[in-house]
Amino acid sequence: MKVLICFLFLLGSLSNTILSQTLVEPNQNFIWESFSFRFPEAVVVKEESTTQKKLTVYPAKRDGFFMVVRILPWSEPVTEKNLWTESVFQKPINPKQSEKKIFGKSFQVYEADQIRNQNALRNQVWVQMDSKPYLWIWLQWKSDRKDLNDFFESNLFLSL
């Protein structure tokens, strides 16, 4: 039994390996897999190797938001709203769906407010619809951070 547990632990650690961790300054373009992002404050960007390519972004100095970016292995993106609201948002408040065009690229944007651990949170999931590889971005930030509301809701994080 101990051998099986050790094997599973080793297998799990090999399938989810941190490839790099970088400090990125505010409003600096950060390029990942041919996509370019900007952040409102200094962040730590962690690239991981999983079954999908994954980038995780955390603020370097204070709490307030996080961002997960994945390249999806789909042949066609899933666009059914109920799938997103039920699988991504836990107990969503006022879920919405819209389409946005940014720098000529089409995105489906799913939004919902949420209360988690006594924090009021804003959530957005962006799915690039018009070209492969499909890009999936999940943003979550504290609602009381008005600077983050303006930054993320104005699409300033995308500098594709």
Domains of the chain as residue ranges with CATH: 18-153 (3.40.1000.10)
Tell me, what's the pLDDT at 52?
A: 75
Tell me, what's the pLDDT at 133?
A: 75
Q: Tens digit of pLDDT per residue, the chain (160 long)?
A: 444 343 334 444 444 565 678 999 998 999 998 889 999 999 999 998 767 788 999 999 888 899 999 887 765 555 555 555 566 677 888 888 899 998 888 898 989 998 888 888 999 999 887 777 778 899 999 988 888 988 998 888 988 6
- Calpha distance 35→31 (Å, rounded): 6
Tell me, what's the pLDDT at 130?
A: 78
- Calpha distance 134→125 (Å, rounded): 13
Tell me, what's the pLDDT at 13?
A: 46
Provide the total of helices (H) and of strands (E) in the chain, helices listed first: 3, 10
Distances (CA, A) of 155 to 43, 54, 124, 145, 150: 17, 20, 11, 16, 9
Tell me, what's the pLDDT at 11?
A: 41
